[in-house]
Amino acid sequence: MSAVLSRGVFILGEQVAAFEKEFADYHGGGFAVGMANGTDAIELVLRGLGVGAGSKVYTVSHTAVATVSAIERAGATPVLVDIDRNSYTMCSSSLEAAIEEHGNSGADSCTNAVVVVHLYGQPAPHWQEITDLANAYNLRIVEDCSQAHGAKWRGQRVGTLGDAAAYSLYPTKNLGALGDGGVCLTKDPDLASKLKGLREYGWKERYVSDFPGANSRLDELQAAILRVKLRRLDADNEARRRIAAHYRSGITNDKLHLPSEQDTCQHVYHQFVVRTAQRDEFRKHLGQNCVGSLVHYPVPIHLQPAYRGRLPLSPTGLLQTEQAAEEIVSLPMFPEMQTDEVNEVLAVVNRWGV
């Protein structure tokens, strides 16, 4: 931070360029493009891929509203599909039914896409089936990795599996800035170049817009902070995994359903999410015993006032999405948690209902 302040360059300088290279290298190469936030990152990736008015973008309703907001900001229509009960990520059979019901990019000149959300730190385990569908129906694949920095599917880091990926760098993320931030990742140099223009008014030459763009620039202070934190990401993720293992072995309360970790995936536990049909009572018990909890997310997007009744849904319905929203609870999870703190949570959790 002192180096940035001394140099006096605060937007798109050497720290941003260095972070972009280091972030891409962390993922085995390709190109990273810093953005102002994760919502912008999703929107601009979609726009860079040619998604816009008339396009359909298939995604889940069990996600942060930013995912769907970004799709609409790109000018496209979100089509919402159900989740897999165990992983809380996209259900491939619900996706297939939605594509068959609502059309695909072969039917018109629009570029359609699927935005796959790797949620709670869990990579979407049905990635191969989703990829096969995307290839069959000519859909571009965007990964929303905002909750899964460093996670892996079959040994490969998320963010490198599709056409492009978008990450939030919000302070609470596994890789978080000390303010807002986002980044896009792609192997395609042409897309990377387009994204650099899109984040700054469509400029190739300063003050001359070659195409409509936005103002979505990662600032130097945040990039400098992120460069330091990136070096600790794997260690922090391992700490999260150790805490999750401690929870798993220590929770003996049979009223709780614990999160699943799929064989093909390396979960990085952005959240440790349990579920129970008596959620309100459980959260009241936690609060009375000084243990914090949150619900990610209490209202599915298709049932929120801004979206209810106006977005197309998969014909399979969104039953798993709606059931999860009524039962899930996030327990405390952050890499600095001490063993005695984890044990305190476990003691409170296991006393519930006894």
Quick: pLDDT tens for 5-51.
Answer: 999 999 999 999 999 999 999 999 999 999 999 999 999 999 999 99
For the chain, where do the domains classified as CATH 3.40.640.10 start and end? 2-230
The residues near 299 (Cβ < 8 Å, ≥ 6 apart) are 325
Query: Is residue 53 predicted with pLDDT exceeding 70?
Result: yes
> With respect to CATH, is domain 233-349 assigned 3.90.1150.10?
yes
Task: Give the whole-angstrom CA distance, residue 353 versus residue 351.
Answer: 6
| Short-list 37, 134, 106, 115, CA closest to 72 | 115
User: Where is 208: in which H helix or E strand?
Assistant: strand 208-209
Asked if 10 and 4 count as a contact pair (C-beta separation under 8 A), the reply is yes
For the chain, where do the domains classified as CATH 3.90.1150.10 start and end? 233-349
Q: What is the mean pLDDT of the chain?
A: 96
* pLDDT score for 109: 66
Quick: pLDDT tens for 158-202.
Answer: 999 999 999 999 999 999 999 999 999 999 999 999 999 999 999
The residues near 68 (Cβ < 8 Å, ≥ 6 apart) are 59, 61, 78, 80, 301, 307, 311
* pLDDT score for 262: 85
Integer CA distances (angstroms), 266 to 2, 175, 236, in order = 36, 16, 14
* pLDDT score for 107: 47
CATH class of the structural domain 2-230: alpha beta
Asked if 130 and 176 count as a contact pair (C-beta separation under 8 A), the reply is no
Query: Is residue 114 predicted with pLDDT exceeding 70?
Result: yes
Residue with tokens 């919000």: 170
What is the phi/psi pair of residue 337, to 5°? -60, 135
Asked if 97 and 118 count as a contact pair (C-beta separation under 8 A), the reply is no
Question: 353: pLDDT confidence band, cut at 50, 70 and 90?
Answer: confident
Q: Which amino acid is at 336?
A: E
Query: Is residue 354 predicted with pLDDT exceeding 80?
Result: no
Question: 212: pLDDT confidence band, cut at 50, 70 and 90?
Answer: very high
* pLDDT score for 104: 62
Query: Is residue 129 predicted with pLDDT exceeding 60?
Result: yes
Task: Give the whole-angstrom CA distance, residue 76 versus residue 103.
Answer: 14
Listing DSSP states for 278-326 in one string gives: THHHHHHHHHHTT---B-S-SS-GGGSTTTTTTS-B-TT--HHHHHHHH
Quick: pLDDT tens for 91-113.
Answer: 999 999 999 999 864 445 689 99
* pLDDT score for 106: 46
Quick: pLDDT tens for 274-322.
Answer: 999 999 999 999 999 999 999 999 999 999 999 999 999 999 999 999 9
Task: Give the whole-angstrom CA distance, residue 105 versus residue 77.
Answer: 13
